[in-house]
A and B are shown apart, each in its own frame.
Chain A
Amino acid sequence: MDLMLMGRKIGMTRVFSDAGVSVPVTVIQCGPCVVTQVRTADKDGYAAVQIGFEDVKPRNSTIPVITHDHKAGTTPKRFHREFRVKDASAFQPGQTLSVKDLDGQMFVDVIGTSKGKGFAGTMKRYHFKGMFASHGTERKHRSPGSIGGHCSNRGYGGGLAKGKRMAGHMGDERVTVRSLDVVRIDPENNLLLVKGPVPGANTGMLMVRPAIRLYKSKAKKLAAAASK
Chain B
Amino acid sequence: MSAQQIIESVSKANLKSEIPVIGPGDTINVHVRIVEGDKERVQVFQGVVIVRKGRGVNEMITVRRVVDDIGIERKFPINSPMIAKFEVVRRGDARRAKLYYLRDRVGKSRRLRDRRRGMKHVDGSAPAAA
Contacts and interface: CB of A to CB of B under 8 A. Distances in A.
Interface stretch (B17-25, B44-52, B62-70, B76-84): B76-84
Given A27-B10, A191-B10, A193-B10, A16 B3 contact: no
B57 interface: yes
Given A22-B80, A191-B10, A193-B10, A203 B58 contact: no
B129 interface: no
A196 interface: no
A189 interface: yes
Contacts of A14: 11, 14, 57-58
Contacts, number: 45
A11 B3 contact: yes
A19 to B, nearest CB: 8
A13 B11 contact: yes
A29 B6 contact: yes
Given A14-B57, A14-B58, A22 B7 contact: no
B49 to A, nearest CB: 20
A193 B79 CA distance: 19
B33 interface: yes
A15 interface: yes
A219 to B, nearest CB: 28
A20 B9 contact: no
A202 B10 contact: no
Given A13-B57, A16-B14, A27 B80 contact: no
Contacts of A27: 6-7, 10
Contact of A189 (B6, B11, B57, B81): B6
B10 A15 contact: yes
A161 B1 CA distance: 52
Interface of A: 10-11, 13-16, 19-20, 22, 25, 27, 29, 184, 189, 191, 193, 202-203
29 contacts: A10-B3, A10-B6, A11-B3, A11-B7, A13-B11, A13-B57, A13-B58, A14-B11, A14-B57, A14-B58, A15-B11, A16-B14, A16-B80, A19-B35, A20-B33, A20-B80, A20-B81, A20-B82, A22-B80, A25-B10, A27-B6, A27-B7, A27-B10, A29-B6, A184-B10, A189-B1, A189-B6, A189-B9, A191-B10
Given A13-B10, A16-B14, A19-B35, 9 more contacts: A10-B7, A13-B58, A15-B14, A16-B81, A20-B81, A20-B82, A27-B10, A184-B10, A202-B3
Closest 5 CB pairs of A and B: A20-B82, A20-B81, A10-B3, A13-B7, A16-B14
